[in-house]
Every structure is written in C-alpha cells, then in structure tokens.
C-alpha cells in the first residue's frame, strides 16, 4: 500500500474515532446524575419554578439527540458552547488553561527524555559503573511508585514538614516527579536497545577501527535507537495525561486537568465535552505523528 493511501485511510479512521469519542462522552456525562442547574440550586435560592425555567433556558430539557445535533453542528464550526456555570465561552476557559498543561507536559517530557536518554547512553558507555543498576532502579521506580503517591509525599515533606516550597501553584515538584517517571519509562528500553545494537557487526568493526566509544554511541547507535524513543513517545504521552491531571489537581495548577475535574464535579457539560475532545484529539494526533515519525526513521517499517 502506498504511503499516501495509508495515511489517508489512517486519517479517516482517526476522524471516525474522534466522532465516536464525541458521541460517547456526550452520552456518558448525561448519564451522570444531577446537572448544572442542581449545582446552581445548591445555595437554596432557586425554587421549583425557577429550576424548570433555568433548565429550559440552558437547553437542558431537550432530548439527548437534539442536544447532540446542536452541539455537534456548533463544535464543527469551532464553537464549543458556553460554560453553563460561568457563562463564558468554553473555548475561552480552555485557552486560558491550556498553556499551563502544555507547559507542564513539555517541561516534564523534556526533563524525562533528557534523564532517560542521558542515563541510558551513559550506562552503555560505562557498563561496569553503577549506572546500569541505576537504569534498573529508575525503571522500577516508574513502574512501582505512582506519581500520585510521590506527589503527595513531596507535598508532605517539602511543603508541610520542611516548608521549603509553597503548595499552591509551584511547578518544580510536578515537573521533577513527572520527569523522573518518564525517564524511568524511557531509560530501560533504550538501554536494552543500545546494548543489543552495540553487538551488531558494523559496530564491532567500528570498535576494531579504533573509534572512541562516545563517538560510536552518538553517531551510530543513538539515531537508530530513536525509533524506540518515538514508539515509546505515544505510550508516554497517553500515560502522562493522567499523571499531569493528578499533578495539576494536587498542586493546584490551573490547567486542563483541573478544569476537567471541576467541570465534571460541576456538571458543566459543554466544558467537559470540549476538554475530553481536546484531550482525545491530542492523543490521536500524537499517536499519528509518532506513527509517521517511526515510518520515516526506520526503513524496515516501510512496506
């Protein structure tokens, strides 16, 4: 199959995927008991008539299918609706929250990749040092210790007991914690890959020729191992969304995760739908890009 046709089919599949997600989320959150009018009625200022009227005003009394039709039509043109709680366009709330999440994710990814690649490379270069054991340990850390737990422990130790860091709004802890987690996920597979590649014939030839180990690693091994990293990238990103969400809520960062959590608690349908759609679209996009990148990097994968 030619690359173009393959890419086209892939795109179609992703579009259907997004559509499916949109429908599923739409229905799912309407199964949730209580709606935003209940949220507004909490303080005890709305009597029964007012509640009915408010529901009608917000369009919540129409059938599910009608509501979906209206929402989908608007969403396709970029209008994600208005937050039912705050009376502001959902897109505006998302745009305000997105930089925090993107920044956190980017920094964590950068830190994690630097740590993972650096550690794996160093472990291959100095196999007799404790570095390979460190790679194992780091991998174990990222599998065994949930970021949520590490985050809590960090808050307890650094903010409550030692008082070194503020609790609300600091980026250092979340980035470091997520970075270590990502580093652990990257370091071990990369290390294994590098080790295996090092036994390849052309590397032994290079060694025999007397090239320095560092040069061999940087020029010959790493570029080939990049496919591993890229393949991991998709997995990492998917896992990172969950991690970033908990980190945001734990550390009080005003990102998409906090927005989603509050929107779900507040039954703010338009915001929930918009955020989940954005997340899903993001995951789909990243997986697609990772797929393309893998094909580009590794000639073996091209059919």
Partner 1 sequence: MTDVPLNLLRRHLLLGGAALALPASALAQATPRAGTLKVAFLGLDTADPHRHTGSIAVQQVYVETLTSIADDGTVKPFLATGWEISPDGRRYTFTIREGVRFHNGRLLTAEDVRANAVRVRDQVRGGWLSAPMRLVESLEAPDARTFVMTMKEPYGPLLNLLSELWIVAPESEGWAQTIRLPIGTGPFRFGQWQPNVSFQAPAFAQYWQPGLPRAEAVEFSLRDDSDLSLALRAGDLHIGRVGYDKLASVRADPNLEVQFMKDTTWWFWSFNNRSPRPPFNDIRVRQAVSFMLDKPAFMRFVAGDAGVVTNQMAAPGQFFWDKAMHGADAHAAPNEERARALLREAGVNPATTPCRIVSWQSAYSEIAVQAMRKLGFQVEHLALDDIGAQRRLGQYDWDLAPFASGPRADIFLRFVRLMSDGPNVGLWGGTRDAEFDRLVRAAIASVDLPERRRLYLAAWQRAIDNYYTVVIGHAPEPIVNRREVKGYAPGFTWGQHRVDGGLAFAAVTARS
Partner 2 sequence: MSASATAGMPRAGGTGGLALGLAVLGFALLAGVFGPSLVPHDPLVQELAARNAPPDALHWLGRDHLGRDVLARLVAGTRISLAVALGATLLAVGLGAGLGLVAEALGRWPSFLVFGAFDMVRAMPSILLALTLMVALGIGIWPLILALGVAFAPHMALVARATWRREGSAGYVAAARVMGASSLATLWRHVLPNIAGALVTQAAIIMPRAITTESVLSFFGLGVSPETPSWGRMIAGASRYAESAPHAVLAPVLALCIATLGFALVGNRLRLALDPLRERGR
Report if residue 93 touches partner 2, rule: CB under 8 A.
no
Nearer to partner 2, 56 or 133 (CB): 133
**Distance of closest approach, residue 258 Cβ to partner 1, in angstroms:** 8
**Other Cβ atoms within 10 Å of 89 Cβ, number:** 17
**Distance of closest approach, residue 49 Cβ to partner 2, in angstroms:** 28
Q: Which does 7 bind (CB under 5 to 8 A by kind): partner 2, partner 1, none?
A: none
Contact 178, 104 (CB under 8 A): yes
Nearer to partner 2, 16 or 301 (CB): 16
Q: Which does 44 bind (CB under 5 to 8 A by kind): partner 2, partner 1, none?
A: partner 1
**Distance of closest approach, residue 270 Cβ to partner 2, in angstroms:** 15
Report if residue 216 touches partner 2, rule: CB under 8 A.
yes
Binding stretches for partner 1 (CB under 8 A): 33-35, 38-51, 53-54, 83, 85-88, 93, 96, 159-160, 163, 166-168, 252, 254, 258-259, 262, 265-267
**Distance of closest approach, residue 262 Cβ to partner 1, in angstroms:** 5
Report if residue 106 touches partner 2, rule: CB under 8 A.
no
Q: Which does 154 bind (CB under 5 to 8 A by kind): partner 1, partner 2, none?
A: none
Structure token digits, residue 211: 């090239």
Tell me how many residues contact partner 2 (CB under 8 A): 57
**Distance of closest approach, residue 35 Cβ to partner 1, in angstroms:** 8
d(CA 247, CA 4): 40
Choices 38-46, 81-89, 109-117, 192-200 (CB under 8 A): range interacting with partner 2: 192-200
As a dihedral over the C-alpha atoms of residue 140, residue 143, residue 149, residue 154, rounded to 10 degrees, the angle is 50
Site track for partner 2 across 6-45, x = CB under 8 A: ----------xx--xx--xx--xx-xxx------------
Q: Write the DSSP assignment of the chain as a string of letters.
A: --HHHHHHHHHHHHHHHHHHHHHHHHHHHHHSS--HHHHHHTTS---HHHHHHHHHHTTTTS-HHHHHHHHHHHHHTT---B-TTT-SBHHHHHHHHHHHHHHHHHHHHHHHHHHHHHHHHHHHH-TTSSHHHHHHHHHHHHHHS-HHHHHHHHIIIIIIIS--S-STT--HHHHHHHHHHHHHHHHHHHHHHHHHHHTSHHHHHHHHHT--HHHHIIIIIHHHHHHHHHHHHHHHHHHHHHHHHHHHHHHT--SHHHHHHHHHHTT-HHHHHHHHHHHHHHHHHHHHHHHHHHHHH-GGG--
Contact 249, 148 (CB under 8 A): no
Report if residue 113 touches partner 2, rule: CB under 8 A.
no
**Distance of closest approach, residue 24 Cβ to partner 1, in angstroms:** 22
Report if residue 269 touches partner 2, rule: CB under 8 A.
no
Residues that bind partner 2 (CB under 8 A): 16-17, 20-21, 24-25, 28-29, 31-33, 124-125, 127-128, 132, 136, 140, 143-146, 148-149, 152-153, 155-156, 160-161, 188, 192, 195-196, 198-199, 203-204, 207, 213, 216, 238, 241-242, 245-246, 249, 260-261, 264-265, 272, 276, 279-280, 283-284
């Amino acid at each position: 199959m030619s690359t173009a046709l393959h890419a086209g089919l892939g795109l179609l599949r992703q579009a259907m995927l997004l559509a499916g997600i949109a429908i599923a989320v739409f229905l799912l959150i309407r199964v949730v008991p209580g709606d935003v009018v209940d949220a507004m009625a909490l303080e005890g200022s709305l009597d029964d008539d007012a509640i009915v009227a408010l529901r009608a005003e917000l369009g919540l009394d129409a059938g599910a299918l009608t509501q979906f039709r209206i929402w989908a039509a608007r969403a396709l043109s970029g209008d994600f609706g208005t937050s039912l709680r705050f009376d502001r366009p959902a897109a505006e709330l998302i745009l305000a929250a997105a930089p925090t999440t993107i920044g956190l994710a980017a920094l964590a990814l950068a830190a994690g990749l630097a740590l993972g690649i650096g550690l794996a490379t160093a472990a291959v270069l100095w196999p007799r040092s404790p570095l390979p054991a460190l790679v194992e340990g780091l991998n174990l850390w990222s599998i065994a210790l949930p970021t949520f737990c590490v985050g809590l422990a960090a808050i307890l130790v650094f903010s409550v007991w030692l008082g070194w860091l503020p609790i609300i709004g600091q980026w250092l802890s979340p980035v470091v914690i997520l970075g270590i987690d990502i580093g652990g996920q990257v370091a071990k597979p990369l290390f294994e890959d590098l080790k295996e590649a090092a036994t390849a014939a052309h590397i032994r030839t290079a060694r025999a020729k007397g090239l320095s180990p560092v040069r061999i690693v940087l020029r010959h091994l790493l570029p080939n191992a990049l496919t591993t990293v890229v393949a991991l990238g998709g997995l990492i990103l998917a896992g990172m969304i969950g991690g970033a969400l908990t980190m945001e809520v734990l550390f009080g960062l005003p990102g998409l995760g906090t927005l989603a959590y509050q929107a779900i608690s507040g039954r703010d349908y338009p915001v929930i739908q918009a955020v989940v759609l954005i997340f899903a679209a993001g995951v789909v996009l990243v997986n697609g890009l990772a797929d393309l990148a893998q094909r580009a990097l590794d000639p073996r994968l091209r059919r």
